[in-house]
């Protein structure tokens, strides 16, 4: 009978420095704010884009998130 030993490498977790995470967190926050604006406020007097194309594109998401639109 042949017995062999298996060695598993030790897992060492290294913390991520804040300077590596911060740019991505700011970028994700900016994208989230833009998404909330376009879903929640892009219509009527606050509209940045003329026409109803953006409103119709996000219409179902607007209702799903509870934003009134009509």
For position 33, what pLDDT does the model report?
Answer: 92
For position 23, what pLDDT does the model report?
Answer: 95
Domain-located, residue 8? no
Domain-located, residue 50? yes
For position 25, what pLDDT does the model report?
Answer: 96
Domain-located, residue 44? yes
Q: Which helix (H) or strand (E) holds 59?
A: helix 59-64
Number of domains in the chain: 1
Tens digit of pLDDT at every position of the chain (70 positions): 667 777 788 888 888 899 999 999 999 999 999 888 877 777 766 677 777 777 778 888 888 888 777 7
Domain-located, residue 52? yes
Range of the domain at 30: 18-64
Domain-located, residue 43? yes
C-alpha dihedral, 34 to 40 to 42 to 43, nearest 10° = 180
| pTM greater than 0.85 (yes/no) | no
Compute the distance between CA of residue 14 and CA of residue 4 in angstroms, rounded to an integer: 31
Domain-located, residue 3? no
């Amino acid at each position: 009978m042949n017995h062999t030993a298996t060695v598993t490498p030790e897992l060492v977790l290294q913390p991520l420095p804040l300077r590596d995470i911060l740019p991505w967190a700011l970028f994700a926050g900016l994208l989230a704010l833009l998404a909330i604006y376009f879903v929640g406020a892009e219509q009527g007097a606050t509209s940045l884009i003329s026409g109803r194309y953006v409103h119709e594109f996000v219409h179902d998401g607007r209702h799903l998130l509870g934003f009134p639109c009509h």
